Amino acid sequence: MRSRFSALELSRLDMPATLPPPGPELSEERFEASRATLFVDGFMTHFIKVGGVLVIAAVLGIFVFILFQILPLFQGAKVKPVQTVQLPEQQYSVMGVDEWAELPFLVSAEGKMRFIDLQQEGKITEIDLATVTKAAPAAPSPAAAEPETPADSAAPDAAPAPGAAAPPPSPPARAALFSAISYNARKQELALGSPDGRVAIVAVNYTTAFAEDGSRTVNQTLEAGEWLPLGRPGAPITGIDVGDASDAKLIGVIQQVGDGAEVHAVALTRKRTLLGGGALTAGQSHDLTPHLTGKPVQIHVSSSANAIVIVTADGEVEYFFKSGEQFELRQVFKPFGDLADPTVASIDFLFGDVSLVATSISGQNRVFSLYRQAGSNVRTFGQTKEFEPLPGAATFYTSSLRNKGFLTGTAEVASLRYSTTETVRWQEKMPFTIARAVISGKYDRILFLDKENRLHLYSLADPHPETSWRALFGKIWYEGYSHPEYEWQSTGGTDDFEPKFSLVPLIIGTLKGTLYAMVFAVPIALTAALYASQFLHSRFRAVVKPIMEIMASLPSVVLGFLAALWLAPLIETRVPSVILMVVAIPLTAFGFGYLWSGLPFGARRLIPAGYEFIVFLPIVVLVTWVCWHLGPAFEKIAFVVTDPATGARVADFRQWWPQATGADFQQRNSLVVGFVMGFAVIPIIFTIAEDALSNVPLSLRSASLALGATRWQTARSVILPTASAGIFSALMIGLGRAVGETMIVVMATGNTPIMDLNIFSGMRTLSANIAVELPEAPVNSTFYRTLFLGAMLLFLATFLVNTIAEVMRQRLREKYKTV
């Protein structure tokens, strides 16, 4: 109607109107709005609509933002081809790569080491290992300790200088420089075993230079040790591995002696001199052959240089542990003993050297970790994970140097797996036949070498391998644990630490805090609401409600401070008093009410209806005081134990509780938290429940009273059932507040993520966890996103609870309308 009016008026305004002189006579124009008014009105309409929608969208955008922060947690790995380089036709035995995956190398069977510069279209720098390694001299020469000068990568054919400067007197025969080779990617060391029973270690040092513009160039240098004789002199080495713990190396070799094989191990120690590293000197050689139960085919030495794992031809794994100078055979087990063909296709350590990843001939993939098995005090291997089987026997294996990921697969299929979460991050049939593969040090590139000697570079995007539904909400068998656990432990002391991101202890902690808060708050809040709405004299209402609302406004940091620094030390020694109070106060109330209401009518009039709570103010104070002082006496009667330290008999609840229940007693415990959180929850429940109760239509109440029901009968049978939905919604909203409470929990508990419901121990809630840990979490790390996930859970939980409550309340309002 208005718009038609204004259109009319607009057309009029366009005319050069001669305005009638202002006078008493009425004219049409008097009723017209000015153009400015209409413009402002239209503008404001649009402004408010757009602005309002934007504000609401922004506020609800919180949910979307947090959602986008946590989505990457649930994504798998993305692997994409980047580059392919054709290499010279040759048999390659070992592949390695630098941290940036720019300068991988391959070692050919003849002992040629080729560095492939992927930044320069695969330009190859070739180094002959024979010229680098030196034959063992009679006496250690100082020259051997000198680091090699960098090989000039610009001149592909330039032989390294030191080899040329000091030509090796007698390197092992050219055609067979080595008969066994292994590469320790973590320490970037090649271990070579010669056909004449000698070993040499060549360190591959990558150096990274950063230019002014931020670009980098990676260069390589080789640092070679001497050929050292090892084990049985002259016997060809068929398997070799080296473990390097900075100051000590452990070399294990399999040597062929006649038809049989022997296993020898030797520890090398590096003598430090003033001018840097000294030469490696071999320690005592150990012959492990007598302990063997079968023919050794594979040998692996742990990076900590104290363990050797040998695989025999019939699928047995033997675990030797070096304690002091002696090797002891700790364990012999068959990883695939339950299968028809127990042969081990591949087995190797995972990053951290606590777990072995094994694959069987049939493609079964299992992880064995070291832990203390029941009744034993040494750590032995036990199966902790079983992966989805591979389509066939594994032909390659490479582990990440950053986390518990590993890449394995058959000739056709590559599969990236993550040990902690027992998940396959990525698996694909490759368009070539895989010969070797390696993961770069930053866990962002994968290199494949195929059977046609092509090198394929793939990019790997897997920022959050540590999480999965199972890791976040399920039990995980972590390394070193003797059984699967729910565990939250975000950081550890070492690089190879497995972050433990189970949210379950935090959820349990949240529920525990909420439970005790509700146990304390609900009875008080609901009885208070019932009394205030039904029985309280109306003159007090104006006072009572604001006081309860002030309680709602108390900052939680204040409550937390009082809980931790005032209340916790206060009731630590007075738990029996608290128990007495919990029992005595309601009993006193009931008893007093019973006696009083039995008094003669005249006496009863002394306390008019609606004044009862005033009477109770001094009584409650008195009962509290009495209980407080009776507490020690009660403790002496009920909670006497023998102090294990002194043998004296003491009345001490703090000692009685652990001895009686086996659970902890801590000063900052759930009792304190529950009590103080009550201050936050009681007023909320009270206010909403009181509203619901006092909004019950008066007609219902009057009808009930008129029919002769007492005020209690009316309240219990008429008011409470009618308002039950409102009371439920009050409880829900109170619950929501307790779930999200942060500061009280941060301050008044020990913040230990434990999983029990013991009232005298602390907990860590989701919210406290965020407050404590988020400031330290690196942006966009798994840790950071997991904390966002915690926030999301809190958001969803409270939002859900509040929505239920709100819907209930609206239903209730409809109901009242119809009555």
Partner 1 sequence: METTNKTPRRAKRGVGEPFIWVTAVGLSLGMLMVVGLLALILVNGTAVFWPDRVEQVNIRAESPFELRGKKVFAGRLVKKQDRILQDIEAREAAERAGVWPQEFQYFVGNKDAYGLSFFYIDGAAIAAREQPRDIAQLERLEYGDAFGYFVGLRLKDGATIPAGDPNFLPQLRALNREVNERREELSRIEKGQIGRINHQLQRLALRQKEAGNDAAALAPIEAERQELQTRYETLAKTAGELRARQSENQLVYRLPAGDERTLPLGQLIDFRFPNQLGFFERTSVFLHGIWKFLSEEPREANTEGGVFPAIFGTFVMTLLMSIAVTPFGILAAIYLREYAKQGVFVRSVRIAVNNLAGVPSIVFGVFGLGFFVYFVGGTIDSLFYSASLPTPTFGTGGILWASLTLALMTVPVVIVATEEALSSISRGMREASLACGASKWQTMQRIVLPAAVPGILTGLILAMARGAGEVAPLMLVGVVKLAPNLPLDMTFPFFHLERKFMHLGFHIYDLGFQSPDSEAAKPMVFATTALLIGLVIVLNLGAILLRERLRRKYALGAF
Query: CB under 8 Å to 495, separation ≥6 — which residues?
Result: none
Shortest separation between residue 78's beta carbon and partner 1, angstroms: 23
**Nearest residue (CB) to partner 1, 8 versus 44:** 44
Shortest separation between residue 705's beta carbon and partner 1, angstroms: 11
**Nearest residue (CB) to partner 1, 226 versus 741:** 741
Q: CA 178 to CA 252: how far, in whole Å?
A: 15
**Nearest residue (CB) to partner 1, 366 versus 737:** 737
Shortest separation between residue 612's beta carbon and partner 1, angstroms: 4
**Nearest residue (CB) to partner 1, 165 versus 796:** 796
Cβ contact 655:635 at 8 Å: no
Q: CA 487 to CA 755: how far, in whole Å?
A: 9
Query: CB under 8 Å to 598, separation ≥6 — which residues?
Result: none
**Nearest residue (CB) to partner 1, 147 versus 610:** 610
Shortest separation between residue 490's beta carbon and partner 1, angstroms: 15
**Nearest residue (CB) to partner 1, 143 versus 619:** 619
**Nearest residue (CB) to partner 1, 247 versus 643:** 643
Q: CA dihedral defined by 29, 34, 35, 36, rounded to 10 degrees? A: 170
Q: CA dihedral defined by 53, 58, 62, 63, rounded to 10 degrees? A: 30
**Nearest residue (CB) to partner 1, 48 versus 165:** 48
Shortest separation between residue 671's beta carbon and partner 1, angstroms: 16
Shortest separation between residue 441's beta carbon and partner 1, angstroms: 23
**Nearest residue (CB) to partner 1, 118 versus 733:** 733
Three-state helix/strand/coil letters over 65-124: HHHHHHHHHHCCCEEEEEEEEECCCCCEEEEECCCCCCCCEEEECCCEEEEEEHHHCCEE
Residue 447, Cβ density class (10 Å: 0-12 exposed, 13-18 middle, ≥19 buried): buried
Q: CA 653 to CA 638: how far, in whole Å?
A: 9
Shortest separation between residue 346's beta carbon and partner 1, angstroms: 42
**Nearest residue (CB) to partner 1, 309 versus 797:** 797
Pairing of strands 105-108, 112-117: antiparallel
Q: What are the DSSP E strand ranges found in 143-236?
A: 180-184, 189-193, 198-210, 216-224, 228-229
Which residue, chain included where needed, has tokens 């124009």? 29
Pairing of strands 198-210, 228-229: antiparallel
Shortest separation between residue 279's beta carbon and partner 1, angstroms: 43
Q: CA 446 to CA 218: how far, in whole Å?
A: 18
Cβ contact 577:631 at 8 Å: yes
Shortest separation between residue 485's beta carbon and partner 1, angstroms: 26
CA nearest neighbour of 317 among 341, 289, 336: 336
**Nearest residue (CB) to partner 1, 19 versus 60:** 60
**Nearest residue (CB) to partner 1, 218 versus 768:** 768
Shortest separation between residue 650's beta carbon and partner 1, angstroms: 4
SS3 content of the chain, % helix, strand, coil (to 5): 40, 25, 35
Cβ contact 558:585 at 8 Å: no
**Nearest residue (CB) to partner 1, 378 versus 800:** 800
Q: CA 3 to CA 359: how far, in whole Å?
A: 79
Shortest separation between residue 757's beta carbon and partner 1, angstroms: 22
Pairing of strands 434-439, 260-273: unpaired
Give 706-713 contacts, CB < 8 A, sequence gap 24+.
Answer: 711/534, 711/535, 711/609
Q: Which of the 8 DSSP states describes residue 246?
A: T
Q: CA 30 to CA 24: how far, in whole Å?
A: 11
Shortest separation between residue 540's beta carbon and partner 1, angstroms: 9
Shortest separation between residue 722's beta carbon and partner 1, angstroms: 17
CB hemisphere CA count around 809 (13 angstroms)? 19
